[in-house]
């Protein structure tokens, strides 16, 4: 079994308007996933440093960030980052440049957990429907160019509709996992955060992580899914 999660952490700023990386780490501890895709993991301006200081990740969590060749103080690319449980093997990783007018991107990695190798893509798509579709196709093009692997695509899709748009693009060859409503964390009414998986992976259970801490730590609740390789 492999458990993955996706979390728009809002640069560590909670609903109380305080930046509290320790609170985010506590939410990650509650999730207890093998792989986590983070969105808004870095500050937006200046050096775009990680909203969670790397030493806090190392000292106070079971996760390590997937290395990317980018800004030295950042753990991601345009706010997207991947975390893996300590002990997982990261075979390769890279940033994906997406077509956009805004600072958007995605990150991808090939990861081995136990006997399973899989590709994971973390993403945060545009608020424009047309650009979202362009970005989805760019991500799918990247996946199609690589070796055939069990693949998970997850992140904040910024898609309010239940069908169509980028959901249809991703859904052509990947199954949309029913996780639930994750936005707004105070009163979840939208499924902006999504997880898709290739046919190599069977979803066993999935959901939205609801806890008192998660409801305060960001305006999004984390989503998660557990898979069995087939």
- Summarised one tens digit per residue, pLDDT across range 36-90 is 999 999 986 656 789 999 999 999 999 999 998 766 678 989 899 999 999 999 9
Is residue 82 within 8 A of residue 120, CB to CB? The reply is yes
- Predicted confidence at residue 105, as pLDDT, reads 84
DSSP 143-186: HHHS----EEEEEE----SSSSHHHHHHHTTSEEE-----BSSS
Fold of 2-229: Deoxyribonuclease I; Chain A (3.60.10)
State the DSSP code for 205.
E
Average pLDDT value for the chain? 94
Domain map (residue ranges) of the chain: 2-229
The pLDDT tens digits for 133-180 are: 999 999 999 999 999 999 999 999 999 999 999 999 999 999 999 999
Is residue 76 within 8 A of residue 107, CB to CB? The reply is yes
């Amino acid at each position: 079994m492999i458990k993955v999660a996706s979390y728009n952490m809002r640069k560590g700023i909670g609903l109380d308007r305080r930046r509290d990386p320790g609170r985010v780490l506590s939410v990650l501890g509650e999730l207890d996933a093998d792989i986590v895709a983070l969105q808004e993991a870095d500050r937006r301006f200046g050096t775009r440093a990680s909203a969670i200081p790397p030493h806090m990740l190392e000292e106070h969590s079971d996760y390590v960030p997937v290395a990317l060749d980018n800004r030295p103080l950042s753990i991601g690319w345009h706010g997207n980052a991947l975390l893996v449980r300590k002990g997982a093997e990261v075979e390769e990783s890279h940033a994906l440049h997406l077509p956009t007018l805004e600072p958007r991107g995605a990150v991808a990695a090939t990861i081995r957990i136990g006997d399973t190798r899989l590709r994971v893509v973390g993403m945060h798509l545009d608020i424009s429907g047309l650009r979202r579709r362009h970005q989805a196709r760019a991500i799918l093009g990247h996946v199609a160019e690589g070796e055939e692997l069990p693949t998970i695509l997850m992140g904040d899709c910024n898609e309010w509709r239940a069908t169509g748009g980028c959901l249809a693009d991703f859904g052509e060859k990947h199954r949309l996992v029913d996780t639930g409503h994750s936005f707004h964390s105070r009163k979840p009414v939208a499924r902006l955060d999504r997880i898709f998986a290739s046919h190599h992976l069977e979803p066993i259970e999935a959901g939205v992580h609801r806890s008192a801490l998660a409801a305060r730590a960001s305006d999004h609740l984390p989503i998660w899914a557990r898979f069995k390789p087939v």
